[in-house]
Structure 1
Amino acid sequence: MTSLTDPFALEFVQRAMLGGTLVAILCAVAGTWVVVRGMAFLGEALAHGMLPGVAVATVLGLPVLVGAAASAVAMSLGIGALRRRAKLSYDTSIGLLFVGMLALGVIVISHAGSFATDATAILFGDILAIGVDDLVVLAIAVAVGVGSATLAHRSLVALAVDERVARVLGLAPRLAQTVLVGLVTLAVVASYQAVGSLLVVGLLVAPAVAARQWTTRLVSTMVLAAAIGTAAVAAGLVVSWHAATAAGATIAATAIVAAGLSWALRGVIVAVRRRTASPVLSSA
């Protein structure tokens, strides 16, 4: 048991665990809606869409979260503009901006000198470098995310069921969609330092997918996803410590493994129940 707890005796690992827990909570709230609404591609696009803002902020010596937020917000607004004015589909709009922003980020990086280390941090995160200031930012992000999701819960539920129903009930589906995109943007930007732009979708989607195997209620899914995400953070930190692997990538991989195991276990339970019920039905 000592080998499992040894890493957490260090302060920087404790900060990483606390920061990862806050990220897991925020991603659980946003990720549940991402899974319910089938918006994983949006999360992936926003994660990559942060790259030019982060690159520019790094080159100019500005806070990377400011650059990430500005870039992600610009992409969200661009997606909405393309849908309204160019009359493109949601997936097409996301795909165009996804490639464009990623290309722009690579161009900025390629023209900057000695960018290799920073590029690695951008792509894969550096959760072990989380400081007190980062924890404060994450705590504020969690408060804003949970508060927004709570206030817009009815509208988001109606939007998930049927946009026309939401409109008839006066629940402002367009505003709900804006809140949802903003929630995903907030989760992606806040999670950036922990797992990086390439792996953030794993922590955003995988715990929610795992939780949906056991409950269909939205609030229960969020709570269970937060617990699974937190467990993935703890397990990922322990594994990365002893295996000398990248912490952010290990956490994301652990979350995905948890989703796979949850799906497999659920399948086994369903199969056993069917076999148990078959003799009863046959004898009847």
Structure 2
Amino acid sequence: MTDLLAFITAPWDLPFMQRAFAVAAIVGVVCGVVGVYVVLRGMAFIGDAVAHSAFPGVALAYAFEGNLLLGGAAAGVTTAVLIAFVSQNRRLKEDTVIGVFFAFAFGLGIVLVSTRDSWTTDLSSFLFGQVLAVDSADVWRVAAIGAVLVAVVLVLRKELVAVSLDRETARAAGLPVLRLDLTLYVVVTATIVMSLEAVGNILVLALLITPAATARLLTERLWAMTVLASAFGCVGSLTGLYVSYAHDLAAGGSVVVVLTAFFALTWLLAPRHGLAARLRSRAGARTPAVVVPSA
């Protein structure tokens, strides 16, 4: 018991771990809340597209020795806005438009990177995350941005759900579908860019999607799904950092592995929608009823 308590408290004595835990917890909560609407809309691909569309902005900022996160944010928001506008054409499905811009943005990023002779630690940290290197200013910036994003999503939750479930009905009801699309895309982009320091460009989609997908297996109610997704995101991020600290592993990758383990356990053991519950239900359906003859 003493060893366990020492293991739990040891990282909190280190200032850099305190900052990492704070950022990981905030990012986990925000990604959980925003990810609910991404999962409900079935637009997981947009997270991958935006994460990769930030790549050319970062590469361009790197080439001109600018701020990498600002470059990534500018490129990501630009791509998100273009996707929202082009997706209004009813002859094109949303995932088709996302695929076009996703491929273009990533290809452009590769071209820009190829013009440089070497990669630096800063660019590598964008790709793979560097949560252990955040400073106090990063913590406050992430907290402020996260609070704004969660507030926007919660204020517009009913409209976002309506558009996510049935765009045509929402349009017929007079909802500003294009503006809501733009809002959601920009929120998703800001969430992804905010999360880059925690897990990096390559793994950020898992932080956005996996907690919400795990919560989706446990409940049909929006508020419960939001609470569970944020809890999974927060706890999974903190647990991943503990695993990283204890075994000297990559922090971002450890967070993603832990979140995926939560998802796998839930997929197996969820009371109503888990594999075990479905197998029991099928076994019960195949069992013939026993008729007791009357006396």
Moved more, 166-175 or 183-192: 166-175
Give the Å deviation of 1:92: 2.2
* Structure 1, 46-55 or 57-66: larger mean CA deviation: 57-66
- Alpha-carbon distance, 1:281 to partner: 8.5
Give the secondary structure class of the aligned counterpart of 2:220: coil
- Pairing of 1:121-132 with structure 2 (within 5 A): 121-132=125-136
C-alpha contact (below 8 Å) 1:109/1:119 kept by paired residues: no
> Equivalent of 2:177, from 173, 180, 188?
173
The structure with more radius of gyration? 2
Q: CA deviation at 1:73?
A: 1.0
Give yes or no for the alignment of 1:274 onto 2:281.
yes
What is the rounded CA distance, in whole Å, between the counterparts of 2:266 and 2:111 in structure 1? Answer: 40
Sort the Cα spacing of 1:87 and 1:73 in 2 relative to 1 into closer, same or farther, 3 A: farther
Q: Deviations over 1:7-52 (max 9, x none)?
A: 2321111111110111111111111011111101000010011111
Q: TM-score, normalised by structure 1?
A: 0.91
Q: How does 1:123-202 map to 2 (within 5 A)?
A: 123-202=127-206
In the aligned structure 2, how far is the partner of 1:114 from the partner of 1:272?
54
**Cα distance, 1:79–1:272 mapped onto 2, change above 3 Å:** closer
- Unaligned 5+ segments in structure 2 are none
Residue 257 of structure 1 is matched in structure 2 by 261
Matches of 2:145 and 2:211, distance apart in 1:
19
Partner of 1:214: 218
Residues matched between the structures, number: 284
Structure 2 matches for 1:1-284, cutoff 5 A? 1=4, 2-83=6-87, 88-266=92-270, 267=274, 270-271=277-278, 274=281, 282-283=289-290
Q: Given the two structures, how large is their TM-score scaled by the length of structure 2?
A: 0.88
CA RMSD, 1 decimal: 2.3
1:132-171 deviation per Cα after TM superposition (whole angstroms, max 9, x unaligned): 1111221122121111112211211211232222123322
CA contact (8 A) 1:28 1:207 kept: yes
Q: Is contact 1:212-1:221 (8 Å) kept?
A: yes
Of 56-65 and 149-158, deviating more is 56-65
Q: Which amino acid aligns with 1:52?
A: P
Contact persistence 2:62–2:68 (CA under 8 A): yes
Using the TM superposition, give the Cα deviation of residue 279 of structure 1 relative to its aligned residue in structure 2, in angstroms: 10
CA distance in 2, matches of 1:9, 1:59: 38
Asked whether the equivalents of residues 152 and 179 of structure 1 are also in contact (C-alpha less than 8 Å), the reply is no
Contact 2:43–2:95 (Cα < 8 Å) also in 1:
no
- 2: distance between equivalents of 1:36 and 1:270? 23
Gaps of at least 5 residues in structure 1 are: none
